[in-house]
Amino acid sequence: MIVHPIDYRYGTEEMKRIWSEESKIKRMIWVELTLLRVLSEKGYLSFEDYLTAKKNSRKITPERIKEIEAEIKHDVMALVKAISEVAENAGRFVHFGATSNDITDTAIATQLRDSVKILEHKLSKLLRILARKALEHKKTICLGRTHGQPALPTTYGFRFALWASEILRHFERLEELKERLLVGQLSGAVGTQAAYGKEGIEIEEKVMKYLNLKPAIISSQIIPRDIYCEYIEFLANVSTTLEKIALNIRLWQRSETQEVFEKFDVRKQVGSSTMPHKRNPIDSEQICGLARIIRGFVEPQHQSAILWEERDLTNSSAERITLVEATILLDHILTKAIKLIQNLEIDEERARENLERQLGINMSEAVMIALTKKGFSRQEAHEIVRKLAMKAYEEKRHLKDVIIESELMRFFSEEEIEELLKPENYLGTAEERIEKVVETIKRKLNIQDL
């Protein structure tokens, strides 16, 4: 019986494959066999016996492991026994000197490594898309809003560049995180590698080299969980950016705004079971909903880092959920975000209409700055223009008309006022900042073209 939505609704096949039960078992067997290989190189068993164990390990089935676990009530020892059953002469050295988390934590490190590659690729792809959108729409002027209220003009290119800069920082964080995250261990029951004597460090280093991992600098019975906390926090941080992007797209698609739209297949797609006209922003809404679930794993993972002495078992059950679900769901909404931004539709005419509907009132700062340059104090200029703007609001008139009737005309010509109230004249360094972000992305990704 399938219960969890990840099994039938959410997640990409490539990421779910990494975190599947079958994958976990194969990776744990891989770690055990790699330990056997190194032990054979150290003379504990022959290399031929190791090769026999490796060949015969293909006979191990999840069903057999579960059968043993049902009897002995220990999942890792069940795997050890299943390997030993088929390893022939090498069976006596299966799991030699190791403890359960040497195998599970190191196997998890390989899952994290493969997951990070996927996340890194998709962050890079989203970066490129946002950078292209930033350049494409660097002159697409629109109304900026603060507190949900009309503010100065901006451009959609600037908005895309702002999002791109945030995704770029996540890309950089992931690069930095890999150095701390992708580590395995072979440290024994309390971290001292006592079973291997003075050879412990060398054995651990060789095992990790074959697995393409780094050994942890030091660990107890388990890898210190602060690195898992950092990883989950990273996933939560990315999810927050994706939710912010999706939320704003939802706001701009509202009937009151109607400037930006999710791609909608008008031929077949259904928006509502009862309202045939609906074109709901379903991908954006899904991103927002699942991002909240991802962030919800931050606290359980932090709790899983608080363990008795060398360790207890409270982290194990929680991490079977936190690491798996947070990774799969972040990959899912990142995939959704790529599709969403790639196919986004922008109604430039509507954006201009919404800007002009403000009757120039949102351009009050431009008038205030110009008045200050005429010799007024900034505070005095603010109050003069504020009163004129409030009058324009109340009377539902264009700010230009209100200013023309005021004392300000002693200092300005009508042509000057008209130029001050043109949105395209008050974009400052928007284009330069967009181009700076795009160039930074190109350097970071080491590419010439987007």
Task: Give the up-direction half-sphere exposure of residue 395: CA atoms within 13 A in the CB hemisphere.
Answer: 13
- Closest to 178 in 3D by CA, of 238, 122, 114: 114
How far apart are alpha carbons 397 and 361 in whole angstroms?
A: 9
Beta bridge pairs of residue 214: 183
Burial class (CB in 10 A: 0-12, 13-18, 19+), 203: buried
Instruction: Give the per-residue pLDDT at 201.
Output: 96
CATH number for the segment(s) 5-86? 1.10.275.10
Instruction: Give the per-residue pLDDT at 107.
Output: 98
**275: Cβ contacts below 8 Å, ≥ 6 apart:** none
Beta bridge pairs of residue 149: 146
pTM: 0.95
Any idea where the domains of the chain sit in the sequence?
5-86, 361-420
Instruction: Give the per-residue pLDDT at 450.
Output: 83
Instruction: Give the per-residue pLDDT at 1.
Output: 87
Residue with tokens 């504020």: 386
pLDDT tens-digit readout, 18-41 = 999 999 999 999 999 999 999 999
Q: Which two tokens stand for residue 148?
A: 């949900």
Contact call for residues 200 and 193 (beta carbons, < 8 A): yes
- Which residue among the candidates 147, 273, 277, 413 is catalytic per the annotation? 147
Instruction: Give the per-residue pLDDT at 370.
Output: 96
- Which residue among the candidates 46, 272, 317, 377 is catalytic per the annotation? 272
Q: Which helix (H) or strand (E) holds 285?
A: helix 282-295
Q: Which two tokens stand for residue 358?
A: 């403000």
Instruction: Give the per-residue pLDDT at 273.
Output: 87
pLDDT tens-digit readout, 148-168 = 999 999 999 999 999 999 999
Q: Would you call 121 a catalytic residue per the annotation?
A: no
Residue with tokens 């962030």: 295
Q: Would you call 255 a catalytic residue per the annotation?
A: no
Instruction: Give the per-residue pLDDT at 266.
Output: 83
How far apart are alpha carbons 305 and 319 in whole angstroms?
A: 10
Instruction: Give the per-residue pLDDT at 382.
Output: 97
Instruction: Give the per-residue pLDDT at 330.
Output: 98
**3-class DSSP assignment, residue 143:** strand
Averaged pLDDT, groups of 10, the chain, 450 residues long: 91 97 97 98 97 96 95 96 96 96 97 98 98 98 97 98 98 97 96 95 97 96 95 98 98 96 89 88 96 98 94 91 97 98 97 97 97 96 96 96 94 96 97 98 92
What class has domain 361-420? mainly alpha
Q: Which two tokens stand for residue 226?
A: 């602060």
Contacts for 49-55 with beta carbons within 8 Å, 24 or more apart?
A: 49/87, 49/88, 49/89, 49/90, 50/90, 52/87, 52/88, 52/89, 52/90, 53/83, 53/86, 53/87, 53/88, 53/90, 53/91, 53/94
